[in-house]
Structure 1
Amino acid sequence: MSAVPWISLTTDYGLTDGFVAACHGVVARIAPTARVIDVTHLVPPGDVRRGAAVLAQTVPYLPVGVHVAVVDPGVGTARRGVALAAPGGLLVGPDNGLLVDAAAALGGVTDAVELTEPRWLAARVSGTFHGRDVFAPVAARLALGAPLAEAGPPVDPAGLVRLPTPTVTRDADGFTAEVLTVDHFGNVQLAAPAELLDPLPATLRVGPPDTAPVHAAVHGRTFGDAPAGGLVTYVDSAGLVAVAVNGGRAADLLAASPGDLLRVSGGCSTVECFSGG
């Protein structure tokens, strides 16, 4: 493999401790010419689903390189550390479902290894900081062009841990979908592709399935298609259905969190749909 000058970091380490700096330092010691892009270090602690979504929706827009992701509540347990090769880059992190969607976004896993080669790791591997002692040194060596196969034994890509498939069901006048993520602005991203929203009318119902209250939403293209304080249901930058409030937070208005279900449907006037917000 040829050298790649870029490494990205996605973690739940936060910004108040030295964890991120330690990972940067390990990379700089091994591969001082590599350039590091910090995707985010503010994934909610232990939220593998959120980390996987951020990673998968970001890596297609990054330079070809090595993408390190660490959202790892099972650190130090029997869960494997892995490195994956895809046509669009390499991914390094825990085998807990965090990497697979990003690998798919980069063209799919072509090779995978378990990170067991001691020469690729820190001299002493902490039981609780594999970002520093396992994943950062492996990424740095891959960035220098070291062969993936030297990092450890091969792993069958079919055996990689995958997150549960989120719920999406379609019916005669709309669909119900699981909340995939809530972003910094309170926009609610659903695990529903654009084609489920496309045929629905200009005014929609949005709310928990079979539960009041139901809120009226504009079927729009951007936030400004709704009046100030109003809901808009649209296709977001990742190509998924999302719900936002123009000038507010849809997650608060809908009391929606990742894993919840929301139903989006048509067939009513704004006055008929709107209830309590």
Structure 2
Amino acid sequence: MFENQQKQQALLTLLSDFGDRDVYVGVMKGVIAKINSRVKIVDLTHQIPPQDIAAARFCLMDAYSYFPMGTVHVAVVDPGVGGLRRAIAVEFANGFLVGPDNGLFSGVLSQSPAIAVAELTNPEYWHTLHPSSTFHGRDIFAPVGAHLASGVPLKKLGREIDPETLVKLEIPECSRTGNTITGCIQYIDHFGNLVSNIPGSYVQGKSWGVVLGEKTITGSGTYGDVKVGSAIALIGSHGWVEIAINRGNARSLLQMQLGDTIQVVSS
């Protein structure tokens, strides 16, 4: 489907929890370059908190639509590396996803379902016949991503598996009762902004606010609509309702964590 486009664009993104202190990311890029030095690599982020699959899920979901059709997204947040979890490549409408089958792709696939999925069982497309039990990013995912970006068909990478069997990271859906929408915090960014699972479209054009205990934070348009140090609710650039502190950290000030419940009241 994407073979001709991939040969022209050869675009691959990397996302991981590896940070930038060690050589892990650089080594993955070296493996990719040995396969195809013309592949253009974009680092989405390597600052996912260690083993935080939920954060990886959100960041990849937030980013994929900004890339050209046929882009290969290699994501490695893999606390189950070397265990029973499957290594997979997924074809979807925008391109391909490569990484562990642990739920980190479930955000993307909730918006753009899988067309086909392969378990990465063909060592011809690995870096080595004897992959490390701790670094599949180097030995399996990076090389497979490079081969996909170079036009290798998905079906050559291993046995086909049913997309319905993929692991899903269950993020509770928000619910409506009258003018009240109940949701939860699904992501906390670098600034401490609390990103909910409530779509901004639910409150767009309405008067609304986020209810936290006995306090209501009025929905506004920009961070600067409130005084420095004050809480604000708004629709973030990612399209979800979020809670922030103007020039502050909402996570610390409001003492909220991933999964905490919030309510939005609109009129």
TM-score, structure 2 normalization: 0.91
Distance 2:25 2:109 in 1: 23
Aligned to 1:227: 227
Q: Residues 211 and 264 of structure 2 are in contact (CA less than 8 Å); yes or no, is this contact kept in structure 1? A: yes
Matched, 1:117 2:110: no
Aligned to 1:139: 145
Matched, 1:33 2:38: yes
Query: Could you say if the C-alpha distance between residues 172 and 100 of structure 1 is closer, same or farther in structure 2, counting changes exceeding 3 Å?
Result: closer
Name which of 170, 176, 180 aligns with 2:182.
176
Alignment of 1:209-224 (within 5 A): 212=213, 214-224=214-224
Matched residue count: 260
Counterpart of 1:220 in structure 2: which amino acid? S
Matched, 1:82 2:88: yes
Q: Percent identity?
A: 36
Q: Residues 174 and 200 of structure 1 are in contact (CA less than 8 Å); yes or no, is this contact kept in structure 2? A: no
Instruction: Write out per-residue CA displacement over residues 87-116 of structure 1, whole angstroms, 9 at most, x where no aligned residue.
Output: 2111100011111322444x3211110001
The structure with the largest alpha-carbon Rg is 1
Q: Residues 31 and 127 of structure 2 are in contact (CA less than 8 Å); yes or no, is this contact kept in structure 1? A: no
Q: Residues 82 and 115 of structure 1 are in contact (CA less than 8 Å); yes or no, is this contact kept in structure 2? A: yes
Aligned to 1:275: none
1:205 deviates by 4.9
- SS in structure 1 at match of 2:42: strand
Distance 1:120 1:185 in 2: 39
- SS in structure 1 at match of 2:160: coil
Matched, 1:51 2:29: no
1:150 deviates by 0.4
Q: Residues 200 and 265 of structure 1 are in contact (CA less than 8 Å); yes or no, is this contact kept in structure 2? A: no
Distance 1:248 1:135 in 2: 38
Instruction: Write out per-residue CA displacement over residues 177-208 of structure 1, whole angstroms, 9 at most, x where no aligned residue.
Output: 11000111111100111244347636x3532x
1:139 deviates by 0.5
TM-score, structure 1 normalization: 0.88
Distance 1:104 1:111 in 2: 15
Unaligned runs of 5+ in 2: none
Counterpart of 1:81 in structure 2: which amino acid? A
> What's the Cα RMSD here?
1.8
- SS in structure 2 at match of 1:110: strand
Q: Residues 91 and 103 of structure 1 are in contact (CA less than 8 Å); yes or no, is this contact kept in structure 2? A: no
- SS in structure 1 at match of 2:114: coil
Matched, 1:21 2:21: no
Q: Residues 230 and 245 of structure 1 are in contact (CA less than 8 Å); yes or no, is this contact kept in structure 2? A: yes
Query: Could you say if the C-alpha distance between residues 148 and 205 of structure 1 is closer, same or farther in structure 2, counting changes exceeding 3 Å?
Result: closer
Alignment of 1:176-195 (within 5 A): 176-195=182-201
Distance 1:60 1:84 in 2: 15
Q: Residues 174 and 181 of structure 2 are in contact (CA less than 8 Å); yes or no, is this contact kept in structure 1? A: yes
1:227 deviates by 2.1
Matched, 1:263 2:255: no
1:86 deviates by 1.1
Instruction: Write out per-residue CA displacement over residues 231-261 of structure 1, whole angstroms, 9 at most, x where no aligned residue.
Output: 1111111211111111111111221111111
